[in-house]
Amino acid sequence: MYSDDMVTISPMPTSPATSASSPGDLFQLIRQGTARSRSELSKVTGLAPSTVSLKVEDLLRGGLVIESGVSGRGGRTARRLSVNAAEGFVVSLDLGASHVRVAVADLAGLILADRLCSTDVIDEDPGVTVSGLWRTIQGIVDDTDLELTKMVALAVGVPAPVRQPEGRIVSPAFMPAWNNATLSTLFATMTDVPVIVENDANLYAIAECPAEVEPESAHLLAIKLGTRIGCGIISGGKLHRGFSGAAGEISHTQAKGQAAILCSCNVVNCLESVASGGALLARLRADGLTVGSTQELVQMGEHGDARAVQVLREAGSEIGAALSSFVNFFNPRELVLGGTMCYSAPLTAAIRAELFRTCLPLMTENLDVRTSRPETGLGSAGGLRLALDTALQPERVNALLSEAEAVHSA
Ligand SMILES: [Zn+2]
């Protein structure tokens, strides 16, 4: 059993639904920690205690919440309501070119499994890939002593723009055979749970969105600095996908430097071809240096390799200059740097220096530029969060309760 980190995924920030009153709405208040007992539910919603009790009984009968006794003042026992974690689980798949990260969390958001599989499941044919991924999920669910029938949602992160709501992959930079693939349709032959397909940088932004804030004040740009460069946008506590699902494709804006790799975007010297991890690897290899991965490149920079430090600093300046325009345009509260390259001090120092040099002071005076939280690196935190928020939204909870009721009275 996974125990290294006991990380819990919390819901995205939401304003308490004080006017709504279905069992699903009350479930949200319990899940968010806004109300932890029948009396608190009554206080928050303004509903009569008897009405609250009826709806809580629905949730208890449906197995979605549990009520436990907690000793209070004067020896009185207060009854505490909480999500019944064991009632189901969600799975997140984070697809890379040569690996897939699989994570599992229970309904309370506790991560139960987190595995990086460098397997051969990523095939030219998305149908073959999906079959392989399904077998991988089955294996991990078995190993975690769970029953597949208890899975309530699946989130899949892909390194490509995704057209919503159907979750169709459009114009992937690599894996061209995946253009127009709708993975949820392919998964539908194996499972009937909701399958949410999302761009990987968007999932990363979802993972980094703070839970303990008013949604209106959650504005962030999450930059994924790896072999490639990606960006996810949270505006007012919500993911901003844009009209075509392509918002945040910042990597193909023109940079000042010279391209080190070819990019299919047709922009001469785009940011990705000049300053991505892949471009820096190509630059060092052209100089005759042996460097196998972006992790190795980060290490070389930390050990003071002069050429590595030079290319990292130059790339940082290029990325900082590009981010400066986006920050001036978007006015985020937080700018989060993540991906394997975010652990390179020469790179991130140069990004900050250029950003604060060229951005409007009005934008930077309250801007928090930070590196990714450690728990975000744990599996697909954003995918788990999205899957849980989808599976446990009020309408879906109400539908689950009706289904359970129908089975019960049949
Ligand atoms: Zn490009």
d(CA 32, CA 78): 19
How many angstroms separate the alpha carbon of residue 169 from the centre of ligand 1?
Answer: 18
d(CA 246, CA 224): 15
How many angstroms separate the alpha carbon of residue 291 from the centre of ligand 1?
Answer: 23
Q: Which long-range contacts (CB under 8 A, 24 or more apart) does 269-272 make?
A: 271/229, 271/318, 271/319, 271/322, 272/228, 272/229
d(CA 243, CA 149): 35
- pLDDT at residue 171, rounded to an integer: 80
Structure letter (DSSP) for residue 88: -
How many angstroms separate the alpha carbon of residue 246 from the centre of ligand 1?
Answer: 14
How many angstroms separate the alpha carbon of residue 230 from the centre of ligand 1?
Answer: 11
- Residue 197: name the closest of 164, 160, 167, 242 by CA: 167
- Within 10 angstroms of residue 182's Cβ, the number of other Cβ atoms is 17
How many angstroms separate the alpha carbon of residue 345 from the centre of ligand 1?
Answer: 25
How many angstroms separate the alpha carbon of residue 323 from the centre of ligand 1?
Answer: 16
How many angstroms separate the alpha carbon of residue 225 from the centre of ligand 1?
Answer: 15
Fold of 212-376: Nucleotidyltransferase; domain 5 (3.30.420)
d(CA 219, CA 107): 27
Taking the CA atoms of the chain, what radius of gyration do you get in angstroms?
23
d(CA 60, CA 54): 10
- pLDDT at residue 404, rounded to an integer: 79
- pLDDT at residue 165, rounded to an integer: 86
How many angstroms separate the alpha carbon of residue 174 from the centre of ligand 1?
Answer: 12
How many angstroms separate the alpha carbon of residue 254 from the centre of ligand 1?
Answer: 8
How many angstroms separate the alpha carbon of residue 261 from the centre of ligand 1?
Answer: 9
How many angstroms separate the alpha carbon of residue 250 from the centre of ligand 1?
Answer: 9
How many angstroms separate the alpha carbon of residue 190 from the centre of ligand 1?
Answer: 36
**What homologous superfamily does CATH list for 86-204+379-388?**
ATPase, nucleotide binding domain (3.30.420.40)
d(CA 220, CA 338): 13
CB 54 within 8 A of CB 22: no
- pLDDT at residue 194, rounded to an integer: 94
- pLDDT at residue 298, rounded to an integer: 96
Ranges of each domain in the chain: 86-204+379-388, 212-376
Q: One digit per residue, pLDDT tens: the chain, 410 residues?
A: 455 556 788 888 877 665 678 999 999 999 988 899 999 999 999 999 999 999 999 999 999 999 988 666 666 677 899 999 999 999 999 987 678 899 999 999 999 999 988 755 566 788 988 999 999 999 999 999 999 999 999 999 998 889 988 899 988 876 778 889 999 999 999 999 999 999 989 999 999 998 888 888 899 999 999 888 999 999 999 999 998 888 998 999 999 999 999 887 888 899 999 999 999 999 999 999 999 999 999 999 999 999 999 999 999 999 999 999 999 999 999 999 998 899 999 999 999 999 999 999 999 999 999 998 876 665 589 999 999 999 999 999 999 888 878 877 77
How many angstroms separate the alpha carbon of residue 368 from the centre of ligand 1?
Answer: 28
CB neighbour burial string for 350-378, b if at least 16 within 10 angstroms, e if fewer: bbbebbbebbeeebbeebebeebeeebbb
Examine domains 86-204+379-388 and 212-376 and report if their fold is the same: yes
CB neighbour burial string for 289-298, b if at least 16 within 10 angstroms, e if fewer: eebeebeebb
